Amino acid sequence: MWWCLSLALFIGLWELVTALGWVNTLILPPPHEFIAEISNQEQFLSPRIGVARTGGNFVLLTAIVATLKRVIAGTVLGFIAAIGVGGLACYFDLFGKLTLPVITLLAPIAPIAWIPFAIMAFGIGDGAAIFVVFIGIFFLLTLATVNAINNVNQLYINTARVLGASRRQVMFRVILPAVIPDLFFILRINFFAAWMAVLAAEMVGVNTGLGAIVMVGRQMFNAKLMFLGMAIIGIVGYLLDVGFRQLQQRVLWWKGSSQI
């Protein structure tokens, strides 16, 4: 309810300012104009123009799919790898001692900083983008996994042990389910850093996807196209977060909704 009102107010104000001619509509087009741009996408985004400059297919839907595919692939890979490496680091002391210092050093490097390397290593395309997302998720989540494992309530572990659990059973039957909620929460936060990194990668090198639309808009001095791209990035990002929350509730069925 407030949500709609807030959005309507924002758009209304924007329309008003542009209608009154206070700003240059070439640079800051009103919403109805750039949304109408969707119908022109064949003209502006068609391969004919795109090919020469970027070699990609720029129809809007393919752009969304391309970006989503990268983000989701990178996130899933990063999540699984982080739990695997974090779990191993706790299970095999030596492995942890050897890997964790390096991971701790690499973790603070922003995913965006990895973009040049990714493009050099994987070339222009999905590989580079997925790699950037993966990096953005993997290091931080590995550290979070180790931290969460060390903080598992000792009572759960002792309970499992007196019920006859072996070390491996404690790991898979108790520690893993106990840390999943924490990790999901951290994943959701890091996910946005990864989402932004993918968009940045699409702007600077991987010349397809949503980020590239915004860039093409700038290169052609088409502000409408730029804003259309930005609006779609906002909407898709929001929908992803909603989806994430749904997933979280599904995975954490055993928690009351207030505890999530």
Partner 1 sequence: MAEISCDRISKTWNSDTSEANLAIDDISFSVESGEFLVIIGPSGCGKSTLLSMIAGLEFPTVGSIRFRNEPITGTSTHRSMIFQQASLFPWLSVIDNVAFGLSLQGISKNERHDRAKQYLQQVGLLKSAHRYPHQLSGGMQQRACIARALCLGTDVLLMDEPFAALDVQTRHQMQKFLLEIWQGTGKTVIFVTHHIDEAVYLADRVLILTANPGRMLEMVTVDMPRPRDMLSKGFEYHRNLFVDHLRSEVVRAFEEQELAEMLDTRIK
Q: How many chain residues are in contact with partner 1, going by CB under 8 A?
A: 20
Closer residue to partner 1, CB minimum distance, 49 or 176: 176
The residue within the footprint of partner 1, chosen from 141, 146, 174, 233 (CB under 8 A), is: 174
The residue within the footprint of partner 1, chosen from 169, 184, 204, 241 (CB under 8 A), is: 169
CB 228 within 8 A of CB 35: yes
Question: Interface with partner 1 includes 94 (CB under 8 A)?
Answer: no
The residue within the footprint of partner 1, chosen from 11, 59, 160, 230 (CB under 8 A), is: 160
Question: Which part of the chain contacts partner 1 (CB under 8 A), choosing from 50-58, 112-120, 132-140, 153-161?
Answer: 153-161
Q: How far apart, in whole angstroms, are the C-alpha atoms of residue 17 and residue 7?
A: 16
DSSP H or E run through 179: helix 176-204
In the region spanning residues 203 to 242, those forming contacts with partner 1, defined by CB under 8 A, are none
Closer residue to partner 1, CB minimum distance, 239 or 247: 247
CB 194 within 8 A of CB 111: yes
Closer residue to partner 1, CB minimum distance, 156 or 244: 156
CB 149 within 8 A of CB 179: yes
Q: How far apart, in whole angstroms, are the C-alpha atoms of residue 1 and residue 260?
A: 23
Around Cβ 39, how many Cβ atoms within 10 Å? Answer: 8
The residue within the footprint of partner 1, chosen from 164, 242, 250, 257 (CB under 8 A), is: 164
Question: Which part of the chain contacts partner 1 (CB under 8 A), choosing from 29-37, 91-99, 160-168, 221-229?
Answer: 160-168
Question: Which part of the chain contacts partner 1 (CB under 8 A), choosing from 8-16, 35-43, 166-174, 223-231?
Answer: 166-174
Helix, strand, or coil (residue 60): helix
**DSSP code for 260:** -
Closer residue to partner 1, CB minimum distance, 2 or 254: 254
Q: What is the DSSP string of 93-161?
A: HHHHHHHHHHHHHHTTS-GGGGHHHHHHHH-SSHHHHHHHHHHHHHHHHHHHHHHHHHTS-HHHHHHHH
Return residues touching partner 1 (CB under 8 A).
155-156, 158-166, 169, 173-174, 177-178, 254-256, 259
